[in-house]
């Protein structure tokens, strides 16, 4: 017999379970709060099993998102430890692939109003570390708990990425001073903000108002550049960096010189847009040390990107023009461009090299002269010396495309009725076989009609091959030939509406529909007694190719008998003779 305690616990749970079925989170939460400690413990023990029971009532591909708010509210009250609550709220069943935000942050914070600060702080830390991108489910609750407790958020990239995705920076956001410096360290922030229009504009504005430190932002951008990344990762930081550089010339030059050591490290390996920005800034101060100038130019002219190297050559040319005493230092960088694979880059590098002052030390260029194209190498060697590059050997002739394999020859024509009967029973009536069958049918029907009927009748007395010949449209040559044979032999009836079956051919591809039309044309000619003596176009040696010589005999046979080839035959592209030259009724028809 169950004890009083067990009875009490069972009653408490049954009441909550019934309310969960109604899926009203607030009602369930109030009911759990009204329970004593023993009742809450009973509910906490039963909740996981009830989740499985509800899940079992659904199909495997369905979720329980409609139950999730109610389950979350019940667990938030019934469970005691912050660890248990954090694990409960982030259960997979409540955060399915298709679920959106839970929108229960206000309710949960109200349910925890009687929890102490240490409990809430621990829950905030645990939920923060459970955040996962790219959806960041539960972010609203985490941000609210962090703001409520005032604790320093734990280091977690997903929190920073989720925070920047929640909206533009707000001056009164309590998390702004803590999380803003982390955007330069957290992975994924750059991709999240790469096309965001508000963050690059808002941060400089807040810096002008004194809400945040502009130098902190500028320093963060430079550190982010030095950490590396792809162009997409750094696009946002490049835009922000450009808006943070001061417009005042004196302040601008001073800050560029302060960051000069960092900027010099970017041209050799940073993505193109970052390297281009760094090089452009380094070329601005007139007092930049010569070793920084040479190092930056050497790094950018070593790159493989033609556009970036051309930009570097422009900076080098400008430097030599403005500071001719650096020509010798720039010669080493110019030698890097001599080895570039682009002829345009080499040509421009040689043009700049030939303008170097005579007093400049150009010894380093001598060894690079053979790396140029032969014609450019000769120009450079005339000025600086060095070996002239040998012209490359003639390129091998272009490989000729191998001709296609010849098609196999067509089988010999059918000359006996027995052969035609056998061919008509073949499973596949593809193009070569069909051409032979049509040609033989016409020839034998005129020359050996009785023998042809005797050979064909046994196989066409019953619906042996097409038991459903009376149904639907006929989309196979065999069905039309079956009708032609029956009409010729009288071995079996044909559907009374057989002429109407051509209406189904309008949806077929033209070449296939043409062959079906030719088969139907023969069936109509049998029924009307107007069979031509032979095919207008005899079977050619290749598909869809027929010469006038092959078509002309058919016209000559049709002309004395005034036979009229059907539209499909007389309109075939392979008929290469002029229509009026046939002097037949068909040829005299207007197109």
Judged on CB neighbours under 10 Å (0-12, 13-18, 19+), 180 is buried
pLDDT of residue 156: 95
The C-alpha atoms of residue 65 and residue 100 are separated, in whole angstroms, by 9
Is 230 within the bounds of a domain?
A: no
- Closest by CA position to 92, among listed 55, 129, 59: 55
- Closest by CA position to 498, among listed 490, 489, 487: 487
The secondary structure of residue 573, as a DSSP letter, is T
- Closest by CA position to 484, among listed 505, 469, 473: 469
Is 505 within the bounds of a domain?
A: yes
Is 584 within the bounds of a domain?
A: no
pLDDT of residue 441: 86
Residues of the chain where predicted confidence (pLDDT) is lower than 50: 1, 462-468, 539-565, 568-577, 581-582, 584, 586, 589-591
The C-alpha atoms of residue 334 and residue 361 are separated, in whole angstroms, by 12
pLDDT of residue 562: 41
The domain in which residue 42 lies consists of: 1-154
- The pair phi, psi for residue 21, each rounded to 5°, is -60, -25
pLDDT tens digits, one per residue of 225-283: 999 999 999 999 999 999 999 999 999 999 999 999 999 999 999 999 999 999 999 99
pLDDT of residue 547: 39
Contact, 255 vs 245, CB < 8 A?
Answer: yes
pLDDT of residue 552: 38
End-of-domain residue from the set 100, 130, 154 = 154
Contact, 569 vs 539, CB < 8 A?
Answer: no
Determine the Cα angle at 173 with ends 171 and 176, to 5°: 85
End-of-domain residue from the set 126, 154, 182 = 154
pLDDT of residue 210: 93
Q: How many domains does the chain have?
A: 2
Is 456 within the bounds of a domain?
A: yes
Is 206 within the bounds of a domain?
A: no
pLDDT tens digits, one per residue of 383-430: 888 788 777 655 566 666 778 888 777 778 888 888 888 888 775 677
The secondary structure of residue 94, as a DSSP letter, is G
Is 438 within the bounds of a domain?
A: yes
End-of-domain residue from the set 528, 552, 575 = 528
Is 431 within the bounds of a domain?
A: yes
The C-alpha atoms of residue 208 and residue 244 are separated, in whole angstroms, by 10
The C-alpha atoms of residue 93 and residue 51 are separated, in whole angstroms, by 8
pLDDT of residue 506: 57
Is 300 within the bounds of a domain?
A: no
């Amino acid at each position: 017999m169950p004890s009083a305690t067990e009875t009490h616990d069972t009653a408490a749970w049954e009441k909550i379970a019934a309310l969960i079925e109604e899926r009203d989170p607030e009602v369930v939460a109030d009911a759990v709060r009204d329970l004593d400690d023993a009742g809450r413990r009973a509910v906490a023990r039963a909740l996981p099993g009830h989740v499985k029971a509800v899940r079992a009532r659904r199909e495997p591909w369905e979720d329980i998102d409609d139950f999730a708010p109610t389950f979350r509210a019940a667990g938030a009250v019934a469970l005691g430890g912050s660890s248990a609550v954090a694990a409960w709220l982030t259960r997979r069943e409540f955060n399915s692939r298709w679920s959106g935000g839970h929108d229960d942050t206000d309710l949960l914070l109200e349910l925890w109003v009687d929890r102490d600060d240490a409990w809430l702080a621990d829950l905030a830390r645990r939920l923060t570390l459970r955040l996962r991108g790219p959806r960041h489910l539960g972010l609203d609750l985490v941000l609210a708990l962090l703001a409520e407790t005032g604790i320093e958020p734990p280091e977690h990239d997903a929190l920073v990425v989720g925070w920047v995705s929640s909206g533009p920076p707000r001056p009164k956001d309590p998390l702004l001073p803590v999380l803003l410096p982390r955007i330069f360290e957290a992975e994924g922030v750059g991709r999240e903000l790469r096309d965001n229009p508000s963050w690059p504009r808002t941060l400089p504005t807040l810096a002008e108002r004194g809400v945040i430190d502009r130098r902190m932002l500028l320093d963060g951008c430079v550190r982010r550049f030095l950490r590396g990344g792809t162009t997409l990762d750094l696009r946002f930081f490049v835009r922000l960096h450009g808006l943070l550089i001061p417009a005042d010339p004196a302040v601008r030059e001073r800050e560029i010189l302060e960051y000069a050591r960092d900027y010099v490290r970017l041209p050799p390996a940073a993505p193109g847009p970052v390297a281009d920005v760094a090089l452009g800034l380094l070329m601005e101060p007139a007092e930049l040390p010569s070793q920084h100038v040479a190092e930056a130019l050497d790094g950018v002219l070593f790159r493989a990107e033609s556009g970036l190297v051309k930009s570097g050559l422009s900076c080098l040319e400008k430097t030599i023009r403005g500071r001719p005493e650096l020509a010798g230092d720039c010669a080493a960088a110019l030698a890097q461009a001599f080895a570039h694979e682009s002829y345009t880059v080499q040509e421009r590098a040689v043009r700049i090299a030939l303008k170097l002052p005579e007093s400049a030390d150009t010894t380093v260029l001598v060894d690079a002269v053979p790396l140029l194209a032969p014609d450019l190498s000769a120009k450079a060697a005339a000025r600086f010396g060095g070996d002239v590059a040998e012209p490359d050997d003639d390129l091998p002739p272009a490989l000729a495309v191998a001709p296609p394999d010849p098609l196999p020859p067509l089988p010999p024509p059918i000359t006996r009725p027995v052969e035609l009967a056998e061919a008509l029973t073949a499973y596949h009536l593809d193009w070569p076989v069909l051409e032979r069958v049509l040609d033989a049918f016409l020839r034998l029907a005129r020359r050996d009609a009785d023998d042809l009927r005797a050979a064909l009748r046994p196989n066409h007395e019953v619906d042996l091959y097409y038991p459903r010949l009376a149904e639907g449209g006929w989309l196979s040559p065999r069905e039309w030939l079956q009708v032609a044979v029956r009409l010729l032999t009288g071995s079996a009836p044909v559907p009374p509406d057989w002429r109407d079956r051509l209406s189904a051919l309008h949806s077929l591809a033209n070449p296939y529909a043409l062959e079906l039309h030719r088969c139907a044309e023969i069936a109509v000619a049998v029924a009307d007694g107007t069979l031509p003596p032979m095919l207008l176009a005899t079977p050619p040696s290749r598909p869809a190719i027929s010469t006038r010589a092959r078509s002309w005999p058919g016209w000559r046979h049709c002309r004395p008998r005034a036979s009229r080839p059907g539209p499909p035959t007389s309109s075939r592209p392979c008929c290469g003779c002029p229509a009026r030259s046939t002097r037949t009724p068909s040829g005299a028809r207007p197109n």
